[in-house]
Structure 1
């Protein structure tokens, strides 16, 4: 069953739906949205169990794709291009496989339509074990999280999901913070999120995969799966970037998106 997604709309032009990755929110690709909203109407979404969207007991790519299409229906959008990073890229690819008539073009940032080995055990464990009853500041939260997540940038990214509880909602149990993420479901459904999008395809429309040159998320061994499901796919490599390519080189990333969208959807 689809859910009503939190969203932000900006700009004017043909619709471009923007989808964040695991542990993210609609703010994550905000700098990219701002660079493209001069030519497209940007629909940035919080995926289920993330940001300010509803929490659900289930989570997989078909259900998330249905959420996106339900959002399109609510906005009167017949067809749209979709840009997704990481998990959001898999959601975009799932929409194309399940609802090809609703998709003009797809941009999948640093993700392939394949099943990955678990990559987020430390992040999940660190967030689950954070002592929310004892944490009095974000600095304390970061110190605790550092035992599981050594990279400062990743810790800061995860802690964007830690929100202070408004005074009128505090219950006197000592909790000043709570997670916006639905951590139990993300952990319980992680295998679904590591899996490949479902469907035999192919989606014949235009698809651009953008790889971070220093990232291992898109590899040569994924080429057959990409071509089988998305025979018109193109690949661009953004030099000197990792999995967070859109944040490391936003201007270059946005330029690749613009060039592809203008050529694919004139």
Structure 2
């Protein structure tokens, strides 16, 4: 599939992969910052954003699409950055074609993703719907956050529930949700139902890795992210006292930590350098 992709900047390429629901736009917190020094490529995965899917597909089709995308832009080697589902796909790419990737950054993701999300009630759905609509019209309105947001499903995605995070939700989260196809949801649910687990294969990844997680994450628990970090040979680990969407709550801290890791590992973003 010919994916829609947003390309910014010049320099060493970073392939930025969004989560579910998500789109290329929802990766702007990373692409706007790193495109000042690197070339960022943020595709809409099959069935997301503008990469429309009319038929059902499997998770493995995402990998095929991404390999075709890199071939199309003649990218022989790049850095991987994936958030949530995007991190799982980044792991799969690194395992499938290790010589093509120089480093791996996982955001709120895991090789054996476990959830601690409680059952969803009708009140959760009601408050989420009302709060989401109001926030779309008036992004970051504190009254709406206090009245509906903190009683909605957003309380499992955001720990501090700041107006800035709600602005991201309005500008990038809601459009991504509305553009996520039923086929994409089915593909993900099938993979989850089959019990996805790649921990045993992580020893094959021999590139520098950075794993960042939220201590309050209910969608992919901090323990499952930590477990992934422990199975990666060359990995730096850090967690924050936040939830699944922590890059939208503490963007500057997350970006600074990634940048420091990049400075410490110049081999992951220099052309022609392939070893530790």
TM-score range (shorter-chain normalised) is: 0.7 to 0.9
For residue 88 of structure 2, the aligned residue among 65, 90, 93 is 90
Q: State whether residues 4 and 54 of structure 1, in contact with CA within 8 Å, keep that contact through their aligned partners in structure 2.
A: no
Distance (Å, rounded) in 2 between the aligned partners of 1:5 and 1:121 = 34
Superposition pairs for residues 251-262 of structure 1, below 5 Å? Answer: 251-262=252-263
TM-score between the two structures when normalised by the length of structure 1: 0.73
Q: Decide whether aligned partners of structure 1 residues 187 and 219 sit closer, same or farther in structure 2, where only a CA change above 3 A counts.
A: same
User: What is the deviation of 1:45?
Assistant: 1.1
Distance (Å, rounded) in 2 between the aligned partners of 1:13 and 1:29 = 18
Distance (Å, rounded) in 2 between the aligned partners of 1:208 and 1:155 = 25
Gaps spanning 5+ residues in structure 2: where? 138-148, 156-165, 271-276
For residue 212 of structure 1, the aligned residue among 211, 214, 226 is 214
TM-score between the two structures when normalised by the length of structure 2: 0.71
Distance (Å, rounded) in 2 between the aligned partners of 1:89 and 1:185 = 16
Q: State whether residues 93 and 197 of structure 1, in contact with CA within 8 Å, keep that contact through their aligned partners in structure 2.
A: no
Alpha-carbon RMSD: 3.5
Distance (Å, rounded) in 1 between the aligned partners of 2:61 and 2:262 = 26
Q: Which runs of 4+ in 1 moved over 6 A?
A: none
Aligned match of 2:142: none
State the SS of the aligned residue for 1:18.
strand
Distance (Å, rounded) in 1 between the aligned partners of 2:3 and 2:175 = 19
Aligned match of 1:135: none
**Pair 1:183 & 2:159 matched:** no
State the SS of the aligned residue for 1:104.
strand
User: What is the deviation of 1:185?
Assistant: 4.4
Gaps spanning 5+ residues in structure 1: where? 131-137, 163-178
**Pair 1:151 & 2:151 matched:** no
Distance (Å, rounded) in 2 between the aligned partners of 1:98 and 1:65 = 9
Aligned positions, number: 233
Q: State whether residues 6 and 46 of structure 1, in contact with CA within 8 Å, keep that contact through their aligned partners in structure 2.
A: yes
User: What is the deviation of 1:236?
Assistant: 1.5
Q: Decide whether aligned partners of structure 1 residues 155 and 72 sit closer, same or farther in structure 2, where only a CA change above 3 A counts.
A: closer
User: What is the deviation of 1:65?
Assistant: 2.1
Q: State whether residues 13 and 41 of structure 2, in contact with CA within 8 Å, keep that contact through their aligned partners in structure 1.
A: yes
Distance (Å, rounded) in 1 between the aligned partners of 2:118 and 2:77 = 33
Aligned match of 2:69: 71
Superposition pairs for residues 234-253 of structure 1, below 5 Å? Answer: 234-238=236-240, 240-253=241-254
State the SS of the aligned residue for 2:66.
helix
Distance (Å, rounded) in 2 between the aligned partners of 1:182 and 1:192 = 16
Q: Decide whether aligned partners of structure 1 residues 69 and 34 sit closer, same or farther in structure 2, where only a CA change above 3 A counts.
A: same
Deviations 1:146-165 (A, max 9, x none): 9x954385985653247xxx
Superposition pairs for residues 53-68 of structure 1, below 5 Å? Answer: 53-55=51-53, 56-60=55-59, 62-68=60-66
Aligned match of 1:160: 175
Q: Decide whether aligned partners of structure 1 residues 38 and 258 sit closer, same or farther in structure 2, where only a CA change above 3 A counts.
A: same
Aligned match of 1:45: 43
